[in-house]
Structure 1
């Protein structure tokens, strides 16, 4: 999900993450920070939600601690009936959205939230509830900072508003101190799940009859395994649509949100993959030519196989783990166009 600097420099000239749009909600909020796995086959991700996700069974009846009004995505009016007791953390869905669910810890989402003191009901911190300042996050991003945040968001659907009470112990002594809260003070959070991006291509499988091309197999979570044949690599750019989405068409100057895996043809080894980090944002004007050409004209929801000859890739110079004169094989799932900026790591 997150727009991160690719550790193996598979695509070193990506979007630069449009850092000028990244906004920290407050100096205190920044303290919620905590200090590539090589994919050689079709390895399953950790279990999370999915078909077995039963959110209703995990929610608690805590709606009566607050009166919350306003539309999802707009800053809520919150009146807390304080003090709020919280020996353990809990959550409840104030509004249940009808959109897609957050079923993967690294799935990209636009999330707005407000934090309140459980003792006084006073606001503590939060996002701007402003579409122009929205940021991409993931459940994993917030789970690393406050695990109870992740528990409250797991399996939540787009369009939902979630009320959560976080015990002082779960919020953590360091976080309490940074917000100038007492050591036994619980925190109340209101989360709005504004937008949920898919974690994998969700279109229709396509037939491709191209002898000598790589074969793609997929795990249940969608991550691809790429089987490169022993035959010689093609000399020209090859683009195959493996899954055809019905979303918006990609233009050659768009920024796209993608999950991808890259393999060298000669070594048949993965040199980079976003699947364990979360989706990445690519500015098509800043990619190697083969990737730009291969993605232009494709549609959101598609999975694309792109075989890039050296002259449209990294050529004689190579790049990081990519040797000189390498033919590259990419499998790219197109998840969205012009996503918001990701938060600072």
Structure 2
């Protein structure tokens, strides 16, 4: 992203504090331009060479033992306009940077619903300003989750309950299992592998099939983005909540089963709250007897501006017979290997 004009997103003060024989370094702080309050756990990155890191709770950050030269400082915080700006690091001394980010204001345009197919998949065009801005916040959710799992790995228990509804509407006793996962137990989206044999904690691949119904990290996955179209649907409601909805669907050229759906963001914090997905072309999957699969995932916050799946409900119907399978999932016993920032 190109550096933004200071009037739009950034108040930047650079001070070079020279010290005899001091290695070049950079430290700084991130605050809200509107309130002056610290924006704790913003993401800062210094390129080339230094990967992303969270600021402290007070918005402070530091990079030490730098090589003199010009760097690109990237500063991001969910619900705030991101900034990329160049910083010149001298041969000696400490460079101090104070960054003030402006709260994001997205004006949702009237939405015209028109039937169309996904002919040109990929990220939204910058000219579609509202969609581009909301999509960037969706990606920011993915970035923050990835950084949290890299910095603070965790384990969790997933309780999976399956029950079958017959044609009279009766349900049998649910089959319940509990599966222990780590934050690294993840297989990213791939075209043609939305329905696949089980892997890792899910069980024996010879007799268990799993269906990928979407994950927060999809929105940071280049393969997912380049194979889907995205549309801003404006404000929508789930229960009593009014949320910002963005739809996605697979490219028409994809001949295998895939997934289409909607992501729902909080209109103030832009944190992901829900995903609703459905299986496309189920007859072309490893489970051709499936007529439909529709799922809803609810997210909750496990870190500052970082959502994690909280609960899931999936309803599967079948071509042969009138049974319906309802699967529910819930996550509990989230245990970090080291103490993460408070949500």
TM-score (norm 2): 0.25
Whose strand fraction is larger, Structure 1's or Structure 2's? 2
TM-score (norm 1): 0.25
Q: Give the number of the structure with larger relative contact order, counting CA–CA contacts within 8 Å between residues 6 or more apart.
A: 1
